[in-house]
Structure 1
């Protein structure tokens, strides 16, 4: 086999320590006698310390932090034997010279000229060791020519395995005279069959400038098959050449489809990793990973992502990683396994975990879709369900309510629509429907007041559920019907919902809001209510208005468009020209299809269990009520008592103590003529009577009395001075017995 000659040059990082190892022993040995005594002694001590340090490094006793601090730990490791030998030779030359003077130095340096003497033997041995050390360091000292196998005659460039053939092609087309990059040589090649790797070295003083196009042209592979990595300095670079294109260049692979269709515009700076068949769906699943120069994955627009993949909303699922911003999970399906429905497996599936999580359906990954109702440490967790009519939100409510019922939670149910979910009403300890639904909220609010008072009295920090003091769930179905400003009870309803959302968690009271949308204007304008419920618990998003996606700030919901969830799983494409002869299909609805997010749970496409009716699983003997509240027996009277001053059913019967001038206008809500000072004082005092012992903010007083800012400030000042109420802190008041 013929051979070719190539030049291999040492790296500067290897060359400098090698030169020092070779020069130091004779140079310092000859100079030591010429130094002043003090400096000579200092030099001798330094060489002894150096020998001790290199000896410790040789046996692995030198701390790694010290070795790494040098910046060349790999070089020190490779030359540890020669560095120790050089330091010992230097100490042998310098230390005696500092003590005995020039005579010893002369004997050591040139004593080999008299081989018969003792000094001649010592000198010859010293120089022999030095010569062996220098010979061993020759690869690190200077460039050298090496012979490598040449390619077989007639072999083509793309079929030359082994370093010899690769070197020859490089020399002919890149580094040789007339090549694309003269003087930039290839060394250290390893051939792995499907790819080969090597090191590009430029002439000293110049940087590597070899391009992927030049390498690809020389070896007849696409430029994308050539990658580079930085070396130890600008004159060095690692090169990897694949003989077959990577998956991302093959349009038939998932990686290739991503690189061609998604990466350019939808998710730039990303690539796929570990693409494989997904056993849960029969389609593909892969990690979406940020490129090295991208700190985090961009948030994709789900509709744009689906369009780029030439698919449909029900056949693509993107799931951000819960803790790693540089990773996400993508699934592409030919058919969604959730289309067949997920039958309710039985009440055992609803048993809460020790952390308060319940399963409400099945995720696209095959994992159950869960949300948290309560946390043993943090307290109750609120739930918000958003979905238009027909999206399946009634089924979600039924499943969550059944889980709460079977777990021994006390349910208080308000249904302004009047016929949303009769089975939930059968599980409730108290329910109110239609125009009377405000009564359920009043009962929930009275329970909240009691638990606030008990918490202050006992100094209880965390809620602990017991059979006599159970978890409570307040369910408000079709919340917009009672919270919207057009409802005559809206002001009172929003006030109560705000309080339960803000205080209920630490008191064991879960608030379940069920609504067609999450807009603040559908919740009485209360953004605080929306934030406390969504941020303080779980979110179930079914098919609803696309604008809702901008209002959900929970991690994992970024980019989800609930308006893009289709109403049906499949339907014939709409024809270009309509004809009455074309039959109208009635495809299966996508009820229950959506996304669920809860603390500690990934947000993924899911579908709720299919449960037509919960009635067979309701256990009348398990219906629980809050036994810790002494006022439970009077709940019906509480339900009839409005919190709003001026209501004929209010605590004072609408007498003059409340101002007596509230009346529902034609458009709903309440209007109020401005009271005089005495009327304002009486209205405030009457309201504070209903909040006996509780701290109330000035904003709450203004909301529920309708008194303007200036009049209210004067009334509060008068009442505080008279001792009728007390000012706990700025903006917060309380009435005590």
Structure 2
């Protein structure tokens, strides 16, 4: 095997020196051949120039020696001419020692100096200068590598130093620049943060050869959860880097529990979607449970979900009442413990609750359960339900605003009640005699979104309620279909106050609308995408397809495992969102109310004037300047049924004009309809049946009520 390129460049000058003494003038041909060969093998320009100079020097020495010998002079003079040729060979060796194209694979203890010389030579040639190549563009002239130190091992090679510049200059050398010079990946270069060091002195570490990575787990091979965790979860870009897994229960590779521990460091928020991806599972197959120590986190992997069969509401009805701490049971956590949320804070007032869930997610069931818990706990409820007829437990409320206009009236009543309590309790001392009150707002986006005709008024009222109502004993339970900011009228105040003042329930949302990141981020629920909660359990679709449909019982109620209704995450203040499932509602909530009447609101000015208040807009025609005191509100309400705000009139679809029969002819039609109907009706239902706008019906109903010709019970109208 012939000499390598590096060996040729190093030893060719020595051969030229010897050849020049023997071959005489023919050494010029040898020098020319050496120069052509060096060009052919792409030697760098400095090495090529040095090689040609060495060849010329050796050629001149050879010619002179040949002539001396031919003239018969003393041969010692000819031998002395070998000294310049040898010096040229040594100079060429020194010039090429720092320009070798590759780093040696191994370095002896005695060779570390040459390794340092090689590192420094590359640094000066390409980064700081002075360069031996004419016209080369340096990365940063003068940025020398000071305090060079080499770390050499059997499986690694790295060096550290400080990029130093004169005082007043700033280091501009980048990691990518260094990586390009030493022909290594950018990830092998570590540079200090300029914010923590002087501008003209920046530490750097360069890994010329990193240790061999540990062998990865072979795909498809049987592995333990600890091995999978170490290979995919605990790595630098995993969901929980730097952690170790200790199993506490193992019933198979897809059914185990364990504790993740990070040595002397808090684990912090965990992206549940990333963790499921690391474990190659669906999101609902993985559950987290915060431990007592911040450096630990409970982990559970489920082949069949622990909450698949649900918890029946009818068997735990007595547990729905509020305990001494103000908590009620809302469902069951993944570890089979009771999932509790606060509805009150004894000694301080009420609490808020934020509920998110799309269609068929179980949101209505959670609201019905809250209504039942409030009923059993002696809490009065004002219900605002813009989508009429969706809450089965409406009969448990003190006031029900069923329909868009009536729901806005319920909001006005709750705000008036807060103003009333503020006027009566300048410095409330709990417990006071008035009952706690919950204002439950279902489908809140229908009132708060920019497309709502009541957008500005509803937004102003809800912002004030979430800010000021808790210490007056009025809590807000707000439910929307998505966590998007638009559903809350783009108000950061409403959501932040809801989360600070109570808990949050997150159920399944439509695809693309359930991500709790970015503008919709919620502290404690990082990485959760509610649209990733499936509408059925893994493998359940196949079971449904295999069912025998002959003789199907059409009256059979749905089982909990027929869908993921009520499955989601429960977040309480200062904790991590934990997977839970609401209690399964297999019977109407009213059947569990023990026949007791709804909890009533205290007798006060706001409650006595509720009919006028619910019809009185609390903002001006521009949707601004919310009424700020009870006196102003009552004065405005006593002026009679006000005109509907301009924003409502403009947004309303064109309806039938005022009846040509006159206003007085509307009242007999209302009385006739109520006498024919066997059940109480809302004002919107009456308007729909009569084919008239609701704004024409509500004033007539109020006039009939003053004449005792109709009865209003919680927003429902009926004949006496």
Whole-angstrom distance in 2 between the partners of 1:503 and 1:481:
23
Q: Measure how far apart 1:538 and its partner are.
A: 0.5
Corresponding position of 1:707? none
- Which string of whole-angstrom CA distances, capped at 9 and with x for unpartnered residues, describes residues 8-64 of structure 1? xxxxxxxxxxxxxxxxxxxxxxxxxxxxxxxxxxxxxxxxxxxxxxxxxxxxxxxxx
In structure 2, relative to structure 1, the CA distance for the partners of 1:350 and 1:597 (3 Å cut) is: same
Corresponding position of 1:447? 417
1:275 maps onto 2:247 in alignment: yes
Whole-angstrom distance in 1 between the partners of 2:636 and 2:418:
21
Which residue among 287, 305, 309 is the counterpart of 1:340?
A: 309
Deviates more, 1:565-574 or 1:338-347: 565-574
Q: Measure how far apart 1:273 and its partner are.
A: 4.1
Which residue among 338, 349, 354 is the counterpart of 1:368?
A: 338
Corresponding position of 1:604? 578
Corresponding position of 1:288? 260
Q: Measure how far apart 1:211 and its partner are.
A: 9.1
Which residue among 507, 528, 534 is the counterpart of 1:542?
A: 507
Structure 2: tracts of 5 or more residues without a match? 1-150, 157-214, 550-557, 624-632, 654-720
Structure 1: tracts of 5 or more residues without a match? 1-207, 214-244, 575-580, 670-737
Whole-angstrom distance in 1 between the partners of 2:571 and 2:240:
26
Local SS of the residue matching 2:318: helix
Q: Measure how far apart 1:519 and its partner are.
A: 2.3
- How do 1:326-405 residues align onto structure 2 when only pairs under 5 Å count? 326-344=295-313, 345-405=315-375
Q: Check whether the contact 1:654–1:660 (CA below 8 A) recurs between aligned residues.
A: no
Whole-angstrom distance in 1 between the partners of 2:539 and 2:379:
42
Corresponding position of 1:96? none
- How do 1:668-683 residues align onto structure 2 when only pairs under 5 Å count? none
Q: Measure how far apart 1:261 and its partner are.
A: 2.3
Q: Measure how far apart 1:554 and its partner are.
A: 5.2
Whole-angstrom distance in 2 between the partners of 1:660 and 1:357:
40
Which residue among 297, 307, 315 is the counterpart of 2:277?
A: 307
- Which string of whole-angstrom CA distances, capped at 9 and with x for unpartnered residues, describes residues 265-309 of structure 1? 323533334312179x993111111245xx332643322211221
Whole-angstrom distance in 2 between the partners of 1:399 and 1:417:
18
Q: Check whether the contact 1:641–1:650 (CA below 8 A) recurs between aligned residues.
A: no
- Which string of whole-angstrom CA distances, capped at 9 and with x for unpartnered residues, describes residues 609-649 of structure 1? 11132120124534222215243222112212221234999
Corresponding position of 1:484? 449
Whole-angstrom distance in 2 between the partners of 1:336 and 1:487:
40
Q: Measure how far apart 1:583 and its partner are.
A: 11
Which residue among 556, 559, 562 is the counterpart of 2:524?
A: 556
In structure 2, relative to structure 1, the CA distance for the partners of 1:406 and 1:211 (3 Å cut) is: farther
Corresponding position of 1:635? 610
Corresponding position of 2:399? 430
In structure 2, relative to structure 1, the CA distance for the partners of 1:380 and 1:282 (3 Å cut) is: farther
Using structure 1 for the length normalisation, give the TM-score: 0.51
In structure 2, relative to structure 1, the CA distance for the partners of 1:443 and 1:572 (3 Å cut) is: closer
Whole-angstrom distance in 1 between the partners of 2:378 and 2:637:
37
In structure 2, relative to structure 1, the CA distance for the partners of 1:503 and 1:650 (3 Å cut) is: closer
Corresponding position of 1:258? 229
Local SS of the residue matching 1:339: coil
Using structure 2 for the length normalisation, give the TM-score: 0.52
Q: Measure how far apart 1:653 and its partner are.
A: 8.5
Q: Check whether the contact 2:514–2:529 (CA below 8 A) recurs between aligned residues.
A: yes
- Which string of whole-angstrom CA distances, capped at 9 and with x for unpartnered residues, describes residues 332-390 of structure 1? 11211211122112321112121111111111111111111111133211001001101
Local SS of the residue matching 1:337: coil
Whole-angstrom distance in 2 between the partners of 1:496 and 1:533:
14
Q: Measure how far apart 1:568 and its partner are.
A: 1.0
Q: Check whether the contact 1:406–1:622 (CA below 8 A) recurs between aligned residues.
A: no
Whole-angstrom distance in 2 between the partners of 1:624 and 1:510:
15
Q: Measure how far apart 1:529 and its partner are.
A: 0.9
Local SS of the residue matching 1:399: helix
Local SS of the residue matching 2:423: helix
Q: Measure how far apart 1:493 and its partner are.
A: 1.2
Q: Measure how far apart 1:593 and its partner are.
A: 0.1
Which residue among 440, 447, 464 is the counterpart of 2:431?
A: 464
Whole-angstrom distance in 1 between the partners of 2:276 and 2:372:
36
Q: Measure how far apart 1:324 and its partner are.
A: 3.7
In structure 2, relative to structure 1, the CA distance for the partners of 1:625 and 1:660 (3 Å cut) is: closer
In structure 2, relative to structure 1, the CA distance for the partners of 1:664 and 1:379 (3 Å cut) is: closer
Q: Check whether the contact 1:267–1:298 (CA below 8 A) recurs between aligned residues.
A: no
- Which string of whole-angstrom CA distances, capped at 9 and with x for unpartnered residues, describes residues 584-623 of structure 1? 9998221100011124766321111111321201245342
Q: Check whether the contact 2:310–2:583 (CA below 8 A) recurs between aligned residues.
A: yes
Q: Measure how far apart 1:251 and its partner are.
A: 6.4
Corresponding position of 1:529? 494
Local SS of the residue matching 1:627: coil
1:623 maps onto 2:592 in alignment: no
- Which string of whole-angstrom CA distances, capped at 9 and with x for unpartnered residues, describes residues 175-205 of structure 1? xxxxxxxxxxxxxxxxxxxxxxxxxxxxxxx
In structure 2, relative to structure 1, the CA distance for the partners of 1:278 and 1:543 (3 Å cut) is: farther
CA RMSD of aligned residues (A): 4.0
Q: Check whether the contact 1:317–1:605 (CA below 8 A) recurs between aligned residues.
A: yes
Q: Check whether the contact 1:412–1:444 (CA below 8 A) recurs between aligned residues.
A: yes
Which residue among 519, 528, 547 is the counterpart of 2:484?
A: 519
- How do 1:13-412 residues align onto structure 2 when only pairs under 5 Å count? 252-264=223-235, 265-267=237-239, 269-277=241-249, 283-292=255-264, 295-297=265-267, 299-321=269-291, 324-344=293-313, 345-412=315-382
Whole-angstrom distance in 2 between the partners of 1:332 and 1:314:
9
